Structure 1
Amino acid sequence: MGDPILILSSFVCFCLLLVLFRFLDRFWWTPVYIQYRLGSQGIKGPSYKFIHGNTKEMLKMVLPHVYTWMNNYGKNHLSWRGGEPQLLITEPELIKEVLNNRDGLYLKASLPFYFMKLMGNGLATSEGEQWVKHQKLINPAFQGENLEKMIPEMIVSVELMLQSWKKYQAKEIEVSEEFRLLATDIISRTAFGSNYLEGKTIFDMMTQYSNIIRRNIFKPRFPCLREEKVKLGDIDCYAYHDVDENKRILVQDLIDECKTFYIAGQETINSLLSWTVLLLAIHTDWQDKAREEVIELFGHQNPHPNDLSKLHTISRIINEALRLYPPTVAFISRSEREVRLGKFILPANIQLFISNLVVHRDPGIWGDDAHLFKPERFSGEVAKATSNNVAAYFPFGIGPRTCVGFNFATVGAKIVLIMILQRYRFTFSPTYVHSPVINFLLVPQHGIQVILHSLQSDEGPS
């Protein structure tokens, strides 16, 4: 029998060599191979840097690296998030091929475990049969009569917000935080109905956890895990109380969808309303046109669901706001195996970065004034504005994974805008600093400040 110390030392050395080999394979040999292989097909990009890739250049602002590298390397180029290859594609035909795929060739990119804990295995994060099941369960809730039934609760929430705005008449107000609180209230009411306060308590805990993630999302370590366990543990215990084993799966499905509805819904409504109000505060001519339409249709009465489809001017404004400031600025997929995409052969497990923000501002699609706010682009149907190119405008995605809540978000935005326009004129505040950042979704880093000007007496619409 050999020397046990020698055997142990040999085993430790073998393990260390194996770890070193896997480390070098992930962070050097594989990146160099992928860069060479795609480079031979004409796909260029910034050079891979050991371990961190191009991450330092990516984190400074909203997609600054994309525009710089598009100019340097072309509309389709390769970059690196650490050791993960990421291929930017901006050609509409390639975008359609990826997002419309139903054969499982392209899956959602892997999400960090703490993000999965926040969102659960709901519609936004699941794949395969689980996703199909959830999609069938959730989609009808945001259509037709079901959506109309939510409108009275939306109106109640907006009325409460506007009551609190009376103290800001002729003063500056930061509307982004106002809209975040409003979105929380709307979702709590529409999701929980008579149990509104219970739902709000749960959602407040989720907000605390999402804020923890925001502060740590780019940190390699996650020091807030203990705080996260307490907060999400509270939510899970609250949800599972007295639930037997046979019902647990169904209850977990419901919990996951509530998480998705709350986080995605709150952020989307907040982002959409914030940027739309900013644009209308700057472009007061369009604000006046929108108000004229509102008064013509509703007078000073609260909006009625049957007339929302007649809001042509407000629909154009919302569409243009979503073009310039889509809530989600990118959709990230990954190749499940080696695939052909257009003329390219892509290796397995490469991330595909599809930025609607880049496509929405492409002068080749929208003209030289693509960066300007011009709602008249959408004077006809969206298809007319994009010349029937579905991959030219997709604020909520395209294909089977289009956001099921987009109707909820746009209807909610219309209700809020109608009721604000009936009561207030708002103008751009000189204290506003334009600094969009990606914080899950596209949000104003320093908030959005406007000046409120009352249009009527305290009686208001009824």
Structure 2
Amino acid sequence: MEMETSTYSTTNNILLSILSIVVVTSILKVVNWVWLRPKKLERWLTQQGIPGTSYKFFFGDTKDISSMSTQALKTPINGFSNDYFPRVDPFRHHLLTRFGKDYFIWAGPTPMVNISKPELIREALTNTQDFLKPRLNPIVDKLFPGFVNYEGEKWAKHRKMINPAFHMEKLKLMLPAFYDSCAKMIDKWEKIAAEGGSTELDMWPDLNALSADVISRAAFGSSYEEGQRIFELLKEQTSMALAMLQEVYIPGLRYIPTVKNRRFREVENEIQTLLKTIINKRKQEIEVGKPVKADLLGILMDSILKQTQEVVGSIKIQQLGMSIQEVIDECKLFYFAGQETTSVLLVWTLLLLSKHQDWQARAREEVLQTFQNSVPDFEGLSHLKTMSMILYEVLRLYPPATQLNRRIHKDTKLGKLLLPAGALIAFPILLVHRDEDFWGDDVDNFRPERFSEGISKATRGNNSYFPFGWGPRTCIGEKFAITEAKMALSMILQRFSFELSPKYSHSPMTVIFLQPQHGAQIILRRL
């Protein structure tokens, strides 16, 4: 009996010891995560000569960023000024005046180092082995799934599979889809303006619908009406994701069944179901012998149905293409990123041309000389020099994404800096695009003539212009977006003149991408 009691007591002591070790180890890990390691990294960065904010327990700078942004968005910009950085990112604007161009801030317990030197940006964005896509919050993976978040061989494999969809020959085949979508919007505008020859309208919702329709037709062979529910859900998901990203990420918190988390999962499940329906419909068409369509979905489906062979030495290894889930992820990514990028490019272009009537007239003259009133063709679009200059300047002043982020998984050299493992690196597109050292003291002015001899001459060989990223991971849809924008602008300029409405309130804001907070009201006149 005494022996049994002794054994029982020993077992209890062992269990208590193990439990104590687990609890103490967990506490030490949490303390290291939220305090010891951030303070160590703060000293590290300061010793490198990089100034920055003092670390605040757990939250870092997230509360200050959120409160300052909320306050800034309450007030539109007085007049139409292209110097809107204090409004879209007041916290970083404050640090720019305090620390200069390069500094570090805190995304919770993680330091984020701001790097603005073009030569360092080029070095980092070219080095895809050490500078990886950030993993700050799994919510981002839901919003931006697919190859954009892959690394290494998986990224290279998916990029290779998707590349054919964006070759020039494929873009030429998509032109009728671009035209049909633009014609639908322009027909609507002509009907609205028919009675008096002019009308006042908010073009932002129509441009969103236009780019959504283009994506649906060109990428998936459907129309906006068929994909409309997907776009509505993506808009809701984006709004929820943005709110979540402004909070400090706590591992596992997204699994707690809060109202917000449940709704996010419901939206995600519905998007997945709708995309799966589109994919299964295409799969059935292929199975009954219909030819594979030359759109994005067709190319992705082709990768599922075919196996590729890779020769390693003398051995042939069978490799499968994408899984159905991977195809769904790529479709969701293209739906979201493709639609948003083009709609924001178009809205800022039309707003700037509304303000700068001289450039609107020059663009219209070029379009009419090239196409008269005929349907724009691919060859003609590729030779619109004035329009290219305008689009480049719009992308300089109003890039769709205002900064690129990367993370490093080991201590990494960048120029003369030694950056610590786990740090985030931010490359501020918006600030580099309007750096007086590279663009001159008229940096905030709309001057498309900067690009009269192309991007390389305009930047004097510096990496001071990268609206679609840089290096191997440059946005794959860049040519798609530019071609769509040229088609839409050409057709609009053929039929209308436009100017800013007195109701327009210049209020740029970032909701993932840079967009007008209160719409884009213009006065439209039929020619």
If the length of structure 2 is used for normalisation, what is the TM-score?
Answer: 0.80
Q: Does 1:69 align with 2:141?
A: no
CA offset at residue 194 of structure 1?
A: 5.5
Pick the aligned partner of 2:140 from 103, 111, 115.
115
Per the alignment, residue 308 of structure 1 pairs with: 381
CA offset at residue 192 of structure 1?
A: 1.7
Pick the aligned partner of 1:189 from 217, 236, 253.
217
Per the alignment, residue 292 of structure 2 pairs with: none
**Maintained 8 Å contact 2:213/2:223:** no
Q: Structure 1 199/450 Cα, relative in aligned 2: closer, same or farther at 3 Å?
A: closer
> How many angstroms apart in 1 are the aligned matches of 2:103 and 2:394?
28
CA offset at residue 101 of structure 1?
A: 1.0
Structure 2 regions of 5+ residues with no counterpart? 1-5, 70-86, 285-303, 306-319
Q: Does 1:401 align with 2:473?
A: yes
SS of the aligned residue for 1:180 comes to helix
CA offset at residue 216 of structure 1?
A: 4.2
> How many angstroms apart in 2 are the aligned matches of 1:327 and 1:202?
21
CA offset at residue 67 of structure 1?
A: 3.0
Structure 1 regions of 5+ residues with no counterpart? 456-462
CA offset at residue 215 of structure 1?
A: 4.8
Pick the aligned partner of 1:227 from 223, 239, 263.
263
Per the alignment, residue 519 of structure 2 pairs with: 447
Letter in 1 for 2:176: P
* 23-32 vs 204-213, greater mean Cα deviation: 204-213
**Maintained 8 Å contact 1:27/1:83:** yes
Q: Does 1:162 align with 2:198?
A: no
CA offset at residue 172 of structure 1?
A: 2.1
Per the alignment, residue 158 of structure 2 pairs with: 134
* 82-91 vs 439-448, greater mean Cα deviation: 439-448
Per the alignment, residue 432 of structure 1 pairs with: 504
SS of the aligned residue for 1:51 comes to coil
SS of the aligned residue for 1:442 comes to strand
Q: Does 1:106 align with 2:178?
A: no
> How many angstroms apart in 2 are the aligned matches of 1:392 and 1:33?
33
Per the alignment, residue 482 of structure 2 pairs with: 410
**Maintained 8 Å contact 2:276/2:328:** no
Per the alignment, residue 459 of structure 1 pairs with: none
Pick the aligned partner of 2:25 from 11, 18, 23.
18
Q: Structure 1 42/411 Cα, relative in aligned 2: closer, same or farther at 3 Å?
A: same
CA offset at residue 96 of structure 1?
A: 0.7
CA offset at residue 238 of structure 1?
A: 4.8
SS of the aligned residue for 2:359 comes to helix
Matches within 5 A, 1:130-279: 130-169=154-193, 170-193=198-221, 198-219=226-247, 223-238=259-274, 249-279=322-352
Q: Does 1:329 align with 2:336?
A: no
Q: Structure 1 195/374 Cα, relative in aligned 2: closer, same or farther at 3 Å?
A: closer
**Maintained 8 Å contact 1:300/1:422:** yes
SS of the aligned residue for 2:394 comes to helix
CA offset at residue 57 of structure 1?
A: 3.3
Matches within 5 A, 1:343-362: 343-362=416-435
CA offset at residue 126 of structure 1?
A: 1.2
Q: Structure 1 280/196 Cα, relative in aligned 2: closer, same or farther at 3 Å?
A: closer
Per the alignment, residue 58 of structure 2 pairs with: 51
**Maintained 8 Å contact 2:182/2:210:** yes
* C-alpha RMSD of the superposition: 2.5
Q: Give CA-to-partner distance per residue, 1:432-460, whole Å, 9 cap, x none.
A: 222211111111111211111111xxxxx
Letter in 2 for 1:73: F
> How many angstroms apart in 2 are the aligned matches of 1:41 and 1:251?
47
Q: Give CA-to-partner distance per residue, 1:63-101, whole Å, 9 cap, x none.
A: 223332233223221111111100000011110110011
> How many angstroms apart in 1 are the aligned matches of 2:105 and 2:416?
19
SS of the aligned residue for 2:127 comes to coil
Per the alignment, residue 43 of structure 2 pairs with: 36
Letter in 2 for 1:229: R
Q: Which has the larger radius of gyration?
A: 2
Q: Structure 1 250/200 Cα, relative in aligned 2: closer, same or farther at 3 Å?
A: farther
CA offset at residue 207 of structure 1?
A: 4.0
If the length of structure 1 is used for normalisation, what is the TM-score?
Answer: 0.91
Per the alignment, residue 298 of structure 2 pairs with: none
Q: What is the number of equivalent residue pairs in this alignment?
A: 452
